[in-house]
Amino acid sequence: MKMNQKVEQILSEVKASLSFEGLQITEEEEKLIKAALMGDISRSAFLKKARELAENQ
């Protein structure tokens, strides 16, 4: 399985789990998660951006 397919599968499972709990992720959050899973951003950059997104909600 290609990395991109695996990332899409993981995100699909995450969204299903969140939906079960009555939660959703935004498009921006999804893009951030994809970037982290694909290795496009560092862990510290991911955490910084995730905190910013959480504070703005």
pLDDT of residue 1: 75
Taking the whole predicted model, whether its pTM rises above 0.85 is answered as no
Report the pLDDT value the prediction gives residue 44, as an integer from 0 to 100.
97
pLDDT of residue 57: 81
Tens of pLDDT, residue by residue over 7-50, are: 999 999 999 999 999 999 999 999 999 999 999 999 999 999 99
Q: How far lies 37's CA from each of 3, 14, 16, 21, in Å?
A: 9, 13, 18, 23
The pLDDT, as a whole number, for residue 6 is: 92
Mean residue pLDDT across the chain: 93
- Locate the domains of the chain by residue range: 3-55
